[in-house]
Structure 1
């Protein structure tokens, strides 16, 4: 896992080609580790680092994990292509992107803009 500090924005950019978030506990461990290493409360991660089951709303993984982010006042942007998912998931993305904790975006530039 490579962590880049985007210091001017107070954002930690995490790059990893393998799945590192597999459940709520691993997501919490991940964000706390990043926060400990950087002291930043805003994190950008690629979609490939998140278990695919998170993007199936029926599993409940997404809601549980993201509630932890809200509880600990952390913000996260996930970069990737989300066009192949169900309409209900696209609605979830739309609502989430209007909020202030979790964003689903296509590019790093969009992620930085949302997290500022």
Structure 2
């Protein structure tokens, strides 16, 4: 898993490279562990790095991965364009996540940094 550690304020943020692909819950768990090993408790990932099934809530992949983020006391910002999925359930899920303190769906990198700061 390729990522760059960014120092932002007093935080270390792992910015995952666009080439990295998260195709399973195990891939996400490995990413969380690798980021933690590097001292980063916050992670930024691009939506295109996630398997498209992540955004089909019926598969349960999003729930499992995001539960790992919460269980490991990490913060995650997913940068992307979500309108294309045209799913009321996904829209509601994104709104609910953005109300919390661990998972954020944002449209750009600067917004991700602000959420994780």
Do residues 54 (structure 1) and 54 (structure 2) align? yes
**Deviation at residue 12 of structure 1 after TM alignment:** 1.8
**What's the C-alpha RMSD, in Å, of the aligned pairs?**
1.4
Between 100-109 and 16-25, report the one with greater CA deviation. 16-25
Deviation, structure 1 residue 48:
1.3
| 2:97 counterpart residue number | 96
Please state how far the C-alpha of 1:7 moved relative to its aligned partner.
3.5
Consecutive unaligned residues of structure 1, counting only runs of 5 or more, are none
What's 2:80 paired with? Answer: 80
Q: Name the residue aligned to 2:26.
A: 25
Structure 1 pair 56/115, CA: closer, same or farther in 2 (3 Å)? same
- Aligned equivalents of 1:2, 1:43: Cα separation in 2: 9
TM-score, structure 1 as length reference: 0.90
1:9: how far off?
Answer: 4.8
Over 3 Å counting, the alpha-carbon distance change for 1:75 and 1:61 in structure 2 is: same
Contact kept, 8 Å, 1:24 with 1:65, in 2: the verdict is yes
